[in-house]
Amino acid sequence: MEQSVVIVGGGPTGSWLACELRLAGVPTVVLEREPEVDPHSRALTVHPRTIETLALRGAHRELLAEGGRIPSGHFAVLDERLGFRELDTDFPFTLTIPQARTTELLRRRALALGADLRCGHRVTGCTETGAAVTVSVEGPDGAYTLEAAYVVGCDGTRSLVRRCAGVAFDGTPHTALGTLGDVVLDDPPPGAVASAWTTDGTLIAVPLPDGRHRIVMHSPEDVRTDRPGELAFEEFRERVRRVVGTDYGMRDPSWLSRYGNTSRLARRYRAGRFLLAGDAAHQHMPAGGVGLNVGVQDAMNLGWKLAAVVDGRAPDELLDTYHSERRPVGADTIEHTQAQTALMMGFSPQGAALRSLLGKLIAERPQLRDALAERLSGLSVRYPPPGRAHPLTGHRAPNLRLSDTRSLFDVLRDGRPAFVGFGRTDGLGDADDRIDRCRCPLAPDRAAWAGVNAVLVRPDGYIGWATDETDASALAAEARTAAAALYDPRLVARPV
């Protein structure tokens, strides 16, 4: 059997995973049930870490060219904005770009890399049979089956793949609703983003590339467990008027919708030859626009590991680290969005007092503001290593400027890991020929990097190993162990 991967779902998560697998030469089929990209985009934002993720492969330029740049974010629509300019990244902003366009760009890259993208092909069942998974599909020309080494469910909150794998989706049903509308505003609010919170409701308004605005709202009457019928335009307009005193000259809605704060997390991200990513693995209120971003970062973590297992460079156990690293991120995302839901929907005097107090704390304590900004941006994620390790291990690597005029992201563009040396690094020369080697004139001017002599950066841009060692023979021994442990979690790099 050809060692192939079938991805179910061709949204941003499935498309980026296909890009990563094809970059490594893995035969990849993407099965997308819809014949066309959905023009209604729930997601509008691409956060700094996701831009970095795309930049690691040189796939970010079109998004940068098309997206609007917002240099700050929000936590629960508090008045105190979370500035991104001080974040340690080349991309200190959020991009506003509709999910439909992001999907189109990522699909185009996947196709260029050789992915077999099949739109209008609906998966009806998946069965694991020892050394393979049989996938049953209903296509435009009839039913057929595929065999794959692994199947990845990127097929949303109602994931068929998750059900076929027998993975529980634990959590809570919705207790609150939100409403959104894409509308024309004849008298729009000034600025890139407008927001308001009163005891009559919460509102955020963001301009869209087509000249419309996306307005997102929460109202006191939406603290409820039932789900009323379709959202009427007049109802939506009246809600906006109650919060801000005007409807901004609202007309010509192209999309009106309700959504809830249902929060669920897959009990396992990996079950045998089934894996889950994106909304198939985690569901939450879209507070802060994090959903698409977490999904793409799921795919980035999984892509290099799955490729290494499929082509025999790593044992099957490497896939278990996808679960151990990414499921805590999903749990953290649910906690983060549920906390924001409570604050956004806290329309009582007590809720207003809590918002006021938290806003004052953010304004008075820059460290708290920056911590919330890092969490929202995705830059705070760390994958804790097993056992003792250098404090840098598991953190993302910044885009270091190297001695030969390249940057670290340039080196990682082909999806291979890289050793980066800063001082006496002769010992890296014979470490592992599967891993690129490069030099940086100086370690970054950051306290955590003081004394660091070398790091091993994983294909997804996270540090797999770091050392202060300068003795050539000791450094070489450490590096060889670290290189082996990168692909085989049964091995542990020697602590430093």
* Per-domain boundaries in the chain: 5-173+263-377, 177-260, 408-487
Beta-bridge mates of residue 331? none
Mean pLDDT value across the chain: 93
Residue 124 is encoded by which pair of tokens? 């009806």
Q: Residue 427 — pLDDT band, cuts 50, 70, 90?
A: confident
Q: In this predicted structure, what is the pLDDT of residue 495?
A: 40
Domains 5-173+263-377 and 408-487 share a fold: no
**How would you list the strands of the sheet with 201-207, edge to edge?**
194-198, 201-207, 213-218, 177-185, 250-260
Fold of 5-173+263-377: FAD/NAD(P)-binding domain (3.50.50)
Query: Which of 174-178, 194-198, 304-308, 385-389 is predicted most confidently?
Result: 304-308
Task: State mean pLDDT over 95-116.
Answer: 96
pTM recorded for the entire structure: 0.96
Is beta strand 250-260 parallel, antiparallel or unpaired with respect to 454-457?
unpaired
User: What SS3 state is found at 240?
Assistant: helix
Amino acid at 322: Y
Q: In this predicted structure, what is the pLDDT of residue 40?
A: 87
Domain 408-487, classified CATH 3.40.50.10790, yes or no:
no
Q: How many CA atoms lie within 13 A of 330 on its CB side?
A: 29
Does residue 394 surpass a pLDDT of 80? yes
Give the whole-angstrom CA distance, residue 73 versus residue 197.
15
User: Hey, CA dihedral for 158, 160, 166, 167, is it positive or negative?
Assistant: negative
Asked whether the beta carbons of 445 and 437 are under 8 A apart, the reply is no
Which of 7-16, 54-63, 262-271, 381-390 has the weakest average pLDDT? Answer: 381-390
Does residue 187 surpass a pLDDT of 80? yes
Q: Residue 87 — pLDDT band, cuts 50, 70, 90?
A: very high
Percentage of the chain modeled with pLDDT above 70:
97
Q: In this predicted structure, what is the pLDDT of residue 429?
A: 67
Which of 1-10, 107-116, 414-423 has the weakest average pLDDT? Answer: 1-10
Asked whether the beta carbons of 47 and 96 are under 8 A apart, the reply is no
Quote the DSSP letter at residue 434: T
Q: What values do phi and psi take at 207, rounded to 5?
A: -70, 145
Amino acid at 132: A
pLDDT tens readout for residues 219-270? 999 988 888 889 999 999 999 999 999 999 999 999 999 999 999 999 999 9
Contacts of 295 (CB under 8 A, 6+ apart): 11, 12, 13, 154, 277, 278, 279
Of the two residues 424 and 217, the one the predictor is more confident about is 217
Of the two residues 305 and 226, the one the predictor is more confident about is 305
Task: State mean pLDDT over 317-335.
Answer: 97
Query: Which of 80-89, 228-237, 293-302 is predicted most confidently?
Result: 293-302
Residue 476 is encoded by which pair of tokens? 């070489």
- DSSP string computed for 127-182: EE-SS-EEEEEEETTEEEEEEESEEEE-S-TT-HHHHHHT--EEEE--S-EEEEEE
Contacts of 61 (CB under 8 A, 6+ apart): none
Asked whether the beta carbons of 432 and 416 are under 8 A apart, the reply is no
Residue 212 is encoded by which pair of tokens? 């419309």
Of the two residues 32 and 131, the one the predictor is more confident about is 32
Asked whether the beta carbons of 183 and 215 are under 8 A apart, the reply is yes
Beta-bridge mates of residue 178? 259
CATH number of 177-260: 3.30.70.2450
Q: In this predicted structure, what is the pLDDT of residue 354?
A: 96
Kindly report the number of other CB atoms within 10 A of residue 484's CB atom: 15
Amino acid at 70: I
Q: In this predicted structure, what is the pLDDT of residue 496?
A: 37
Does residue 430 surpass a pLDDT of 80? no
Does residue 191 surpass a pLDDT of 90? no
User: What SS3 state is found at 191?
Assistant: coil
Asked whether the beta carbons of 252 and 182 are under 8 A apart, the reply is no
Q: In this predicted structure, what is the pLDDT of residue 2?
A: 55
Q: Residue 105 — pLDDT band, cuts 50, 70, 90?
A: very high
Of the two residues 288 and 119, the one the predictor is more confident about is 119
Give the whole-angstrom CA distance, residue 149 versus residue 147.
7
Q: In this predicted structure, what is the pLDDT of residue 3?
A: 62
Cα torsion 445, 448, 449, 455 to 10°: value is: -140
Task: State mean pLDDT over 433-453.
Answer: 85
Of the two residues 388 and 4, the one the predictor is more confident about is 4
Task: State mean pLDDT over 371-386.
Answer: 93
Q: In this predicted structure, what is the pLDDT of residue 215?
A: 96
Residue 479 is encoded by which pair of tokens? 């590096």
Does residue 141 surpass a pLDDT of 70? yes
User: What SS3 state is found at 217?
Assistant: strand
